[in-house]
């Protein structure tokens, strides 16, 4: 059966840039020896790795979450401000090793300014207090003759930072978390933190901890949903099995829709979903045994199948554009990183190239798209607390999205071929008039586990070619295990 794809010129809303966000945490080599390394010849005078900055700028990171993650639950922001030589060196008892505090709030804000990205701060609900959270907000956002705003000025930063996005805690539903508590306890803390922080700065947006658990999420939303702006969900997946990895995209879609339906049931239309931790994670455990100096590294190797998983997640978020308004890949560098470093070298993984494909070659207006393709059923492993596997029926072999870029008057058709063979499709653009040539960008490789490494850093990368467009219906051949975006310049604006 040939796959049939039809794109219709029906606009279905805006896709938020923030779904292409990222996350950094004081975990392993993500910060130190990752984005920040004063000893590297590739770093500037501030210690920021310029090669990493250049790579991240290429994929236009819209929002960056920090300082965690689990690390945030035991972080005290005042340890990371002021003269570097006076900052305390502490145990990082969350992830092991030592925390020098050389990279703190001011460095993070400078880093975000360098990238042109929105900062997203996560406050501690473990060892932290409400007073501490409000003080951090004052330090970052206020221009008042008060103690913490004065501290910022004394540290050489006269103008407020204007941090808009604030997460209240991290994964406090889990016993692995400092500050673990019940949904009822968290909901009341969330209400108080949000009420008083928004009382100090009404411009901020608050992200609540969601647990991917309807009972927990219902309790939190009922108690504090009227105050918050987002509720989070975290998903980590992956398997040695190719189809187990790519099919987990649709498990994520099920969980996102479950949360979306809960929000709609409670009529909290102003609350959006923040998918603020997602990635492939299954090979490398978080145990400290065997890691140097007792520090957890979690440097997961990423292959072609993981890049296709990322592409599939983007297609899902395009479909859910009304509700999923923010997402953060966990994480940016080394620790579960889409970018790897070794000394002064870097490697861009297939997940990075999936970002490049979708950020730079799809539009931000979603168009209607119908895909008639074969499907399969699967039982696969999942990395979700309390769930060891999932079963899915009707998983598509071909997926994708259609988007429109008003600025360039370009229709982008994204097509993900999960088949491990070349696949022919019939693409129908009836109702859309495209010019005679189109640009195609393809992410593919020779095997599901093929990856880039320091000996072969460009084994997998985007390949560009040109297509002749003859009629409004055309036959296309998709490479096996591939994600493609075809850019059609239209004769008329939509």
For the cut 60, the answer to whether the pLDDT of residue 293 exceeds it is no
Residue 34 reports pLDDT greater than 80 = yes
- The pLDDT of residue 469: 87
Q: What tokens appear for 248 in the block?
A: 């987990």
Which of residues 323 and 287 earns the better pLDDT score? 323
Q: What pLDDT score does 288 carry? A: 56
pLDDT band at 290 (very low <50, low <70, confident <90, very high): very low
Does residue 54 surpass a pLDDT of 50? yes
63-72, 262-271, 368-377, 429-438: lowest mean pLDDT where?
429-438
The model's confidence at residue 289, banded by pLDDT at 50, 70 and 90, is: very low
The span from the CA of 320 to the CA of 366, in Å, is: 10
Tens digit of pLDDT for each residue in 345-389?
A: 999 999 999 999 999 999 999 999 999 999 999 988 766 555 678
- pLDDT at residue number 286: 67
Give the count of beta carbons closer than 10 Å to the beta carbon of residue 127: 12
CA distance 218 to 211: 10
What gap in Å lies between CA 36 and CA 48, rounded to an integer? 5
101-143: pLDDT as tens digits: 999 999 999 999 999 999 999 999 999 999 999 999 999 999 9
pLDDT (tens digit, 9 = 90+) per residue, 448-484?
A: 999 999 999 999 999 999 998 877 889 999 999 999 9
Q: How confident is the model at residue 319 (pLDDT cuts 50, 70, 90)?
A: very high
pLDDT band at 431 (very low <50, low <70, confident <90, very high): confident
3-state per-residue secondary structure call for the chain: CCEEEEEEEEEEEECCHHHHEEECCCCCCCCECCCECCCCCCECCCCEEHHHHHHHHHCCCCEEEECCCHHHHHCCHHHHCCCHHHCCCEECCCCCCEECCCCCHHHHHHHHHHHCCEEEEEECCCCCCHHHHHHHHHHHHCCCCCHHHHHHHHCCCCCCCCCCEEEECCCCCCCCCCCCCCHHHHHHHHHHHHHHHHHHCCCCEEEECCCCCHHHHHHHHHHHCCCCCEEEEEEEECCCCHHHHHHHHHHHHHHHHHHHHHHHHCCCCCCEEEEEEEEECCCCCCCCCCCHHHCCCCCCCCCHHHHHHHHHHHHHHHHCCCCEEEEEEECCECCCCCEEEECCEEEECHHHHHHHHHHHHCCCEEEEEEEECCEEEEEEEEEECCEEEEEEEEEECEEEEEEEECCCCEEEEEEEECCCCCEEEEEECCCCCEEEEEEEEEECCCCCCCCCCCCCCCCCCEEEEEEECCCCEEEEEECCCEEEEEEEEECCCC
Long-range CB pairs of 384-391 (<8 Å, 24+ gap) are: 384/212, 384/235, 384/236, 384/237, 385/174, 390/248, 390/251
Q: What is the pLDDT of residues 227-245, one digit of tens each?
A: 999 999 999 999 889 999 9
Per-residue pLDDT at 116: 98
State the Cα–Cα distance between residues 359 and 184, nearest whole angstrom: 39
Catalytic positions, please?
Answer: 171, 277
Q: What is the mean pLDDT of the chain?
A: 95
- pLDDT, residue 287, reads 62
Question: When comparing pLDDT for 314 and 283, which is higher?
Answer: 314
Residues in the chain: 494
Rounded to an integer, the average pLDDT of 217-230 is 98
Q: How much is the pLDDT for 413?
A: 98
- Mean pLDDT across the stretch 47-73? 98
Q: What is the pLDDT of residue 281?
A: 92
- Decide if 380 contacts 243 (C-beta within 8 A): yes
Task: State the pLDDT at residue 383.
Answer: 62
CA separation for the pair 68, 330 (Å, rounded):
10
């Amino acid at each position: 059966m040939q796959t049939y794809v039809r794109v219709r010129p029906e606009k279905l809303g805006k896709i938020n840039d923030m779904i292409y966000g990222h996350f950094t945490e004081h975990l392993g080599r993500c910060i130190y020896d990752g984005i920040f390394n004063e000893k590297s010849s590739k770093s500037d005078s501030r210690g920021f790795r310029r090669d990493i900055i250049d790579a991240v700028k290429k994929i236009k990171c819209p929002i960056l979450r920090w300082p965690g993650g689990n690390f945030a639950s035991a972080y005290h922001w005042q340890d990371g401000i002021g003269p570097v030589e006076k900052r305390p060196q502490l145990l990082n008892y969350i992830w092991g090793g030592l925390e020098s505090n050389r990279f703190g709030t001011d460095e993070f804000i400078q880093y975000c300014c360098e990238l042109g990205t929105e900062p997203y701060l996560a406050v501690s609900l473990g060892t932290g207090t409400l007073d501490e959270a409000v003080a951090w907000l004052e330090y970052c956002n206020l221009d008042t003759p008060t103690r913490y705003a004065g501290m910022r000025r004394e540290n050489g930063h006269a103008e407020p930072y204007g941090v808009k996005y604030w997460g209240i805690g991290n994964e406090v539903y889990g016993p692995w978390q400092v500050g673990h508590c019940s949904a009822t306890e968290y909901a009341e803390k969330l209400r108080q933190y949000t009420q008083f922080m928004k009382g100090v700065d009404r411009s901020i947006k608050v992200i609540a901890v969601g647990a991917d658990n309807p009972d927990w999420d219902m309790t939190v939303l009922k108690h504090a949903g009227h105050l918050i702006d987002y509720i989070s969900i975290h998903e980590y997946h992956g398997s040695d099995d190719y189809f187990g990895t790519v099919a987990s995209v649709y498990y994520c879609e099920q969980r996102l829709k479950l949360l979306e339906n809960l929000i709609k049931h409670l009529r909290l239309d102003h609350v959006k979903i923040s998918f603020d931790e997602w990635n492939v994670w299954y090979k490398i455990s978080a145990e400290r045994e065997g890691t140097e100096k007792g520090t957890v590294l979690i440097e997961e190797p990423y292959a072609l199948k993981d890049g296709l998983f990322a592409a599939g997640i983007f297609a899902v978020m395009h479909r859910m554009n009304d509700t999923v308004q923010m997402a953060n890949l966990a994480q940016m560098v080394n620790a579960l990183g889409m970018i790897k470093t070794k000394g002064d070298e870097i490697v861009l993984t297939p997940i990075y190239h999936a970002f490049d494909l979708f950020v730079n070659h799809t539009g931000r207006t979603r168009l209607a798209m119908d895909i008639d393709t074969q499907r399969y059923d699967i039982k696969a492993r999942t990395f979700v607390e309390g769930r060891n596997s999932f079963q899915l029926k009707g998983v598509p072999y071909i997926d994708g999205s259609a988007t429109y870029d008003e600025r360039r008057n370009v229709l982008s058709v994204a097509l993900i071929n999960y088949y491990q063979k070349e696949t022919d499709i019939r693409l129908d653009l009836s109702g859309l008039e495209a010019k005679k040539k189109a640009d195609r960008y393809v992410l593919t490789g020779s095997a599901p586990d093929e990856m880039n490494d320091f000996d072969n850093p460009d084994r997998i990368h985007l390949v560009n070619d040109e297509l002749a467009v003859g009629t409004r219906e055309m036959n296309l051949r998709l490479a096996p295990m591939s994600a493609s975006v075809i850019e059609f310049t239209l004769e008329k604006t939509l």
